[in-house]
Each structure stands twice: as C-alpha cells, then as structure tokens.
A and B are shown apart, each in its own frame.
Chain A
Amino acid sequence: MLVNRHNQKNKDLLCGLYEKHRDSLLVLGIALSNDVNIAEDALHDVFVEFARRIQEFKLTGSMKGYLSVCVANRVRDMLRVNRNRERILDEQTGRSESSNTSDPGKLIICNEQLQLLSSALVQLPYEQREVIALRMHGQMRFGAIAKSLGISANTAKGRYRYGIEKLRSILNGKL
C-alpha cells in the first residue's frame, strides 16, 4: 500500500516534470545538435534514465538546469557516437567521410529563430555550444555550469566568450 502510494507520487512527479520542461528541452537539444531526431532521442533517454534513478535523486540546484545538463550530455554522447560510427564504417569500406554536415532530410523545419540559432550554434565547437546553451537557455550560473561539466569557472567563461564572439561573426547582420 505504502509502496503503491510512493510509486504513484513518483509517477506524478515524473509526468509533471516532463510536461513542464519537454518543449524547452527539445529546443535545447535541437540548438545543440541541429537535428530534431537526435534532440527527441536525447529527451527520451534523459527522462527514462531520470525515471530509473528517481528514488535516489537529490536536487541540489535548479531542476531546469539539471535537466538541461542531462540533455546537453546526452546530445554530446550521441553526436560522438554518430561520428565514431561514421568513421568506423568509412575506414572499413574506404568510403569518403561525410563532412559532418547534417543530412538535408534531418534538417529541421521549425520556426525561423530556432533554425537560425541551431544552424549558427552547430558551427561552434561543442564545448562552446553547450556552455552558451546552458547559460542562455538553462539560465545557469558559470559556477554551476563549470561544476556540472567538470571544468573550471574560468574555462566556462572563456568558452562562453569565444563562442559569443564567433556567433557574432556567424550571425553578422542577421539579428
């Protein structure tokens, strides 16, 4: 009885969090990957993993920040896996490596702002991309970003600064 009630409470919590953050986390995933399929898969994996560990979960900062970091980490893993798989297949067959640009079929059709943002962000190294996204989208402090990524606050600030500078030149005149 007690277990069932506890279980129902966790289900409500999980569904509530999902409802609240899903769309915003999808935007984050797309901004980081420029690929709606990757973003959806990342969202899926993050919530499934969260559900699996909900009993031992202890929140120490903002929920949005926590979930944003989880999505950013998952997107990073997925991009890496895709690159490695491509590379392995290329080596085996001697096929040409693709230029890492997204398959046109995977490009997203959504609002102009998101398209502009994700196509600009994808031109930055992932390390800079994630700091900018976590700062601007997750509204996280540099200290919290640094802690979650295992880097120093100065490194996080540096990545942010360089990234913004690059975005300025990429988006020159478009904003």
Chain B
Amino acid sequence: MSYSKKIKNLFTQSNIKVNNQVNDRIIKDSLKALDESHILQPSEIEIETWRIIMRKPITKIAIAAIIIMAVFMSVNYFGGSVDIATVAWGGVLDKVEQIPTVIFDMTAEITISEDEKLVLPSKNYVAEGIGTRSDIYLNSQLSIIKYRLPMEKAAYEIRLDRKEYSRFEIQDEQASDDPRVWLEMILSGDYTELGRNTINNIVVEGISVIRPDIVGEKGIMRLWVDVQTNLPVMIEVEMVGMEAGQMRQQRFVMENFEWNTEIDPDIFVPDIPEDFTQRKIR
C-alpha cells in the first residue's frame, strides 16, 4: 500500500462525534443567523431599489456621460492634470507578499489606569527565508531582543535588562510578528473606506475593519496605504485585551515601513553575551 494511501486511511478511520452541547450551540446560532438574514434592513431595501435603477441601460449611459463631463470640467477648472492615483486594495497584499524584507517601528500602548499608560516602542526586522527580529525598548533603553528563526525552528528572547535569555522551539514558518499577518486579517474583512489623509507627508488612503473574532467587540483595525506606491504606511490595531488579570485598552501602531530594504543577515544571529544565564520557560 502506498504511503499516501496509508495516510488517507488515517483520515477515513478517524472518527469523532460532535458533542451534544456543541451541536445545540451550532444549530441554535446558525438558525438565528439564518432568521436574521431574512430580515431586510431599510438600507438594504434602498440599495436594492438603487440596483434596479442602475440596471436600466438608459441610467448607465446617463451616468457615464455625467462622469465624463465631470472629469472634463475638473481638468479644465483646475487647469491641469488631475491626481487620480488611488489605492488598489486588492493588490496591496499581493504586492507586499512579493517583497522579501521590511523594517518597521511598532508602538504598543497599554492603558494601566485612567492617567497611566505603558508604552513599549520596538524596531522590527523581517526577512523572508531568515526570520524576524524585534528590538523592544523599556523607558528608552533597549531591553529585550526577540528573534524568530523558522529555518532553525527556534525563537530566542534576550533580556538585556536581566542578563537572561531563553530559547524555545517553534513550528510555524510564518512569523506572527510579520506585518503581512495583520494585513491579511484586515484585508480579508469587510472593510470601510476612510478616505484620504496625510501621514508623514505621504498621501494615503485608509480602511477600517471591525473583526470581533480578532480584536474583540470594541476593537478596530485600520490600514493606511500610500496612494502612489500601493504600500502600507501605517497599521493601527485597537483592542481590549486581558493584561495582568484585567481587561485593558491596548493600541498598537506599526509605521515607518521600509519595504524591500537591505538588511544585514547577521542581525538575525542571536548575540548572547557569555555572562547571560538561560531562563527556564514557564
């Protein structure tokens, strides 16, 4: 018997039943979702009416004529070419996935109390085929360096402030601290366009996504992309997460991206001073 056949047999011989409690929950929630999907909201009815109007050929011709006139008039009115650069959202991830390296800054802000926030800035390096490195600062001092090296199937955390380090095995190839992971989550959601803005003198367009499955009910993720290059300029994540036994407001901002920049591979080699002791993983 071929090996693939033996593995296939493992699938077919594996049997497990969904337990009753889970069954009830799934059926109840699915039927509820089905019922809700049958109730047309007023806005949906309006959209449906709008679709019917738009389907009429005469409407299409009229709209096309108005658009052509509007473009023509704006070109003449402003006396020059119009900046029509805009973000192609569908192409953002594709483009980023072609880029092997990126350096970016991330700031994590955790609300401790009404007037106290813990702010942790970090410099992050990602190189496809090598791994990731994060230099984390506490009180403006470089205090923690983290490496994730999928080829070595290992991750390291060096605590400069404590003269300690730890090494642990990892199993996944894609680093979770790769901004592409966030991009994928944002772009795969039902996003709302935020329009144009300027960040660090770069004209950007933004989208926001509410995904309770990722950032909770009160969370939001925003992505701002350069209209000229179609590359991300800023990723913002706001969520309420469990921290030290309490739900706390957290905000993460990834910015100052340097896409496709040259990174010295040596920076991904964990540099552990001899007098550092290995810490046991809890």
Q: Which positions in A face B, CB cutoff 8 Å?
A: 3, 7, 10-11, 14-15, 18, 22-23, 26-27, 30-31, 40, 43-45, 47-55, 77-81, 83-89, 91-101, 108, 110-111, 113-114, 116-117, 122-123, 125-127, 132-133, 136-137, 164, 167-168, 171, 175
Smallest distance from the beta carbon of A167 to chain B beta carbons, Å?
6
A contact residues around B27 at 8 Å (CB) = 15, 18
Asked if A52 contacts B170 (CB within 8 A), the reply is: no
The secondary-structure label for the interface of chain A is helix
Contact of B10 with A by CB under 8 A: yes
Task: Kindly list chain B residues whose C-beta atoms are within 8 Å of the C-beta of A164.
Answer: 3-4, 7
Q: Least Cβ distance of A171 to chain B in Å?
A: 8
**Among the listed B15, B144, B182, which residue makes an inter-chain contact with A111, where contact means beta carbons less than 8 Å apart?**
B15
Residues of chain B in range 224-268 having any CB-CB distance to chain A below 8 Å? 241-244, 250, 252
- On chain A, the residues within 8 Å of B281 by CB distance are 96, 98-99
- Could you show 9 A-B contacts with beta carbons less than 8 Å apart? A11-B31, A48-B29, A80-B176, A80-B181, A80-B185, A89-B241, A94-B143, A99-B281, A136-B8
Known A80-B176, A94-B144, A96-B166; contact A44-B15, beta-carbon cutoff 8 A: no
Chain B residues, Cβ within 8 Å of A137: 11
Please measure, in the bound complex, the distance between the C-alpha atom of A127 and the C-alpha atom of B13, giving whole angstroms.
23
A-B pairs with lowest CB-CB distance, top 3: A114-B14, A83-B176, A51-B33
- We find that the number of chain B residues with CB closer than 8 angstroms to chain A is 66
- B53 shortest CB reach to chain A, Å: 21
B168 & A23 in contact (Cβ 8 Å cutoff) = no
Contact A23 B34 (CB under 8 A): no
Which B84-119 residues have C-beta < 8 A from chain A?
Answer: 108, 110, 118
- The answer to whether B35 has its CB under 8 Å from any CB of chain A is yes
The contact of A47 among B30, B108, B188, by CB within 8 Å, is B30
